Structure 1
C-alpha cells in the first residue's frame, strides 16, 4: 500500500506503550510531596516564634507544596485510570506487562454520533481520577493542619494543597499515554533541578558571581536559564522515550513533551489564586518580602514556559528523526517478494 508523507518507522497494528508503571509514578510523586512538605515544615518550625517570618515562610513554601500536590494528584488519578482500564478492557489493556492501551482510543461499534458515548466515558473517568486525587489532597491537608496548627495561613496552605491534588486527579482523565509521559517528565525535571541546586554555588561562580549585587543577579539569571534548558531537555527526552513505540503522530509527542511545563503553569495558577490572600499578607511585611515573592513568581512562570516549549520541540524532533520518507517505504515494499497463498 502506498503511503504519503512520513510514517513511523516502528508503527505496529496494535499500538502499545512501555513506560514506567502507574504505581511507580505514584510512589515517586508521593515521595516528592513528602519531601516538599518536610522542607516546608523545617522552614516554618524555625520561625514559629516570629509570626511575620512564619507567614513569609509559609508563602515561600506554598509553590513547591502545591506543585508536588498537583503532580501527586495526577499520578494517583493515572493509577486509578489504569486500574479502571484493567477492569473494563482486560483483553487489550496489557497492565500486567506495563503496556497499556488508552481506553478512550479503543475502537467502538459504529454509531450515529460517537460524542455522547465518548463524553460519558471521559466524565466517568474524570470522576474516578478526580476523587482519587482529592483523597491524596485531603490526606496531605490533614498532615499540614496537624503539623502546623489551624492558623489562617496554615489553613490556606492546607486548602490550596487539597485543591491542587483534586485538579491534578481530574487532569488524569486525559489520554493515558500523555498523562503517563507528563508525570514521568515532570518527575525527571524535578530531579534535574534538585541536582543542579546542589551545585548552585559552583555554577554561579562559573557564571561570574562576585561580591557585587549586579554580578550575583546576573549569575542567578544564568543559573535559572540553565535550569530551564536542562529541564526542557529532560522533559522532551522523557516524553520521547515513553511514546517512541506507541505508533503515535507528532502532535502527541509535542503535547507529551510540553506536559511537564503545562503542569508547572497550572500549579502556578493554583498558587496565585488559592494562595492570593496569603501571598498578599506576606508581601505587605516589607519591600524585600514583596520583591522576593514577585521575583520568585516570575522565575517560576519563565521556568514553566521554557520547559514546556523546549520539551515539546525536543520530543517532536526526536520523533521526527525516527521517521522515513514515504518513498523509502514504497521502495522497501516493492523489494519484498509477492506473497503466495
Structure 2
C-alpha cells in the first residue's frame, strides 16, 4: 500500500470514528425503549381486556401499527448506542462486525418485545404473527443503525419520537379540536372534521419532527466540530416519515394476516380497516414531505450566516463525504 493510500485510509477512519462517536445517544435509546415498552404494554392491556374473540382481533389490528413503529425506532436507537459504546472502547471492529452487532442488538430488542405479545395466547397464530412483525421491525431498525451517517439516523429517531408525542398530544385534545374543524351532528361533518384533523396533525408532526431532527444534527456539529451536507439535513427531516413508511410496509406485509382477519369480523370493520390504511399512508406521506421541506428551509437560513469559527469547523459541508 502506498503512503498516499495509507493517509487516505487513516483520514477516512478518523472521520468514520468521529461520525460514530457523535451518534452516541444513551438518552435516545432510553427514550425509545420506554416508548416501545409503553406501546406494547398498552397493546397487551387493551387486547387482554376484551372478552369477545372478535374484539381481541380488532384490538390487535388497531395496536399493530403503533407497536411496529415504536419497535423499529427502538431497535435503531439501542443499536446506535451499542455501536457508539464499542467505538469509544476501541472495539468497533470491521464493518461486518458492526453490522452483526447492530443486527443482533435489534433482534434482541425485538425478541423482548415479541415475548410480551406472544405470551398473551400461545395456542393461536394471531399473536405469533404480531410478535414476529415486532421482532422484524426492531431487527430492521438495528440494520438502519449501520448506515454511513449514524448521526442522521439518530436525528431521524429523535424526529420520530417527536411525531409520536405530537400525535398523542393532539389526540388528547380531540374534544375541542374536532368541533373547531367543523364536526357537528351529521356523519358528513364528522367525517370531514376527522379528515382535516388527520391533515393538521400530520403537518404539525412533520414540522416538529423535522425541527427536532435539525437541532439534533446541529448539536452533533457542536460536539464534533464537523457537519454534514445540506442534503443529509433534508434526509434527517424526512427521516421520521421514511421510518414510518417502513413500518407501514411491514404492517401491510408481515402483519397482513392480522389486518385481513380483523376485516372479516364484519363489513363495518372491513370498511374501518380500509379507511385506517388509507389514512395512515396519507399521513406518512405528509410527514415525509413536510419534514424534508422544513429541514431544507431550516438549514438554508443558516447558510452564509455562521460565525467564522463555525465556518472553519464546517468547511467540509460541500464534501460528498459529509
TM-score after normalising by structure 1: 0.78
Q: Mean Cα displacement is larger for which, 147-156 or 28-37?
A: 147-156
| Alignment partner of 1:53 out of 45, 52, 55 | 55
Question: Structure 1 residues 84 and 21, CA, compared in 2 at 3 Å: closer, same or farther?
Answer: closer
Residue matched to 1:31: 34
Structure 1 unaligned segments of length 5 or more: list them: 1-13, 90-102, 104-119, 334-341
Residue matched to 1:311: 291
Deviations 1:197-224 (A, max 9, x none): 1101210010010111100001001110
| Alignment partner of 2:211 out of 212, 232, 237 | 237
Residue matched to 1:200: 174
**Does residue 295 of structure 2 align to residue 322 of structure 1?**
no
Distance between the aligned counterparts of 2:211 and 2:110, measured in 1?
30
Distance between the aligned counterparts of 1:126 and 1:20, measured in 2?
16
| Alignment partner of 2:233 out of 232, 253, 257 | 253
Distance between the aligned counterparts of 2:97 and 2:37, measured in 1?
29
**Does residue 182 of structure 2 align to residue 182 of structure 1?**
no
Residue matched to 1:7: none
Question: Structure 1 residues 45 and 25, CA, compared in 2 at 3 Å: closer, same or farther?
Answer: same
Alpha carbons 1:239, 1:256 under 8 Å: kept: yes
Asked which structure has the greater CA Rg, the reply is 1
User: Aligned Cα RMSD in Å?
Assistant: 2.5
Structure 2 unaligned segments of length 5 or more: list them: 1-14, 313-322
**Does residue 253 of structure 2 align to residue 273 of structure 1?**
yes
Q: How many residues align?
A: 287
Distance between the aligned counterparts of 1:16 and 1:70, measured in 2?
22
Deviations 1:210-269 (A, max 9, x none): 111100001001110111111111121112111223422110101111111000000011
Residue matched to 1:41: 44
- Shift in Å, 1:173: 0.6
Question: Structure 1 residues 171 and 208, CA, compared in 2 at 3 Å: closer, same or farther?
Answer: same
- Shift in Å, 1:305: 1.2
- Shift in Å, 1:19: 8.0
**Does residue 126 of structure 2 align to residue 141 of structure 1?**
no
Deviations 1:95-135 (A, max 9, x none): xxxxxxxx9xxxxxxxxxxxxxxxx9444322211110100
Alpha carbons 1:18, 1:242 under 8 Å: kept: no
TM-score after normalising by structure 2: 0.83
Q: Displaced runs of 4+ in structure 1, greater than 4 A?
A: 14-21
| Alignment partner of 1:292 out of 246, 249, 272 | 272
| Alignment partner of 1:85 out of 84, 87, 112 | 87
Distance between the aligned counterparts of 1:262 and 1:179, measured in 2?
11
Q: Mean Cα displacement is larger for which, 300-309 or 14-23?
A: 14-23
- Shift in Å, 1:42: 2.4
Deviations 1:121-171 (A, max 9, x none): 444322211110100111111122224444211111111111111111111
Distance between the aligned counterparts of 2:131 and 2:255, measured in 1?
10
Distance between the aligned counterparts of 2:273 and 2:22, measured in 1?
37
Distance between the aligned counterparts of 2:44 and 2:163, measured in 1?
23
